[in-house]
Amino acid sequence: MIKTLRKLLNLRRECHGCQILKEQLEKKNIETQMLLDTITSICKPAVIVPQNSVSQEPIRQGKVRWDVRRRILEANSRKAATIKKEHPEISEDIQKLEEELGLSDEGNPNGNDIAPEGDESTH
């Protein structure tokens, strides 16, 4: 009678070995899930947030007219002058570094390394 009730209610006694196997299988499944989570977290690309928004100008190919180049150089010079005024310690460090490297503006009256088009004296 007990056997028939177990069959009807689908009750089974599990042996000790079966219980151990189920526990081990559950542990392995948890470990596998943890490994997969770790691997996927490593493979996710990190989102890089720019710290300051600096306008990036596209790289131009080919020749640039002198008037355009002059305007770009003047704008860069103005930016450099404002930075030097705002941060004099940086200016001093740059001057020390230029002296150590042997760089100076003596040969170039404009203070830059780019010569106008057609001026072949510096090439």
In a domain, 59, yes or no: no
Q: Which domain holds residue 95?
A: 66-101
Q: The pTM is what?
A: 0.32
Give the whole-number percent of the chain exceeding pLDDT 90.
Answer: 23
In a domain, 21, yes or no: yes
In a domain, 51, yes or no: no
In a domain, 22, yes or no: yes
Cβ 84 vs Cβ 91: under 8 Å: yes
State how many domains the chain has: 2
In a domain, 91, yes or no: yes
In a domain, 31, yes or no: yes
In a domain, 28, yes or no: yes
Q: State pLDDT tens for residues 5-56.
A: 667 676 666 788 888 999 999 999 999 999 999 888 887 766 666 666 666 6
CA distances from 29 to 32, 41, 44, 69 (A): 5, 18, 23, 65
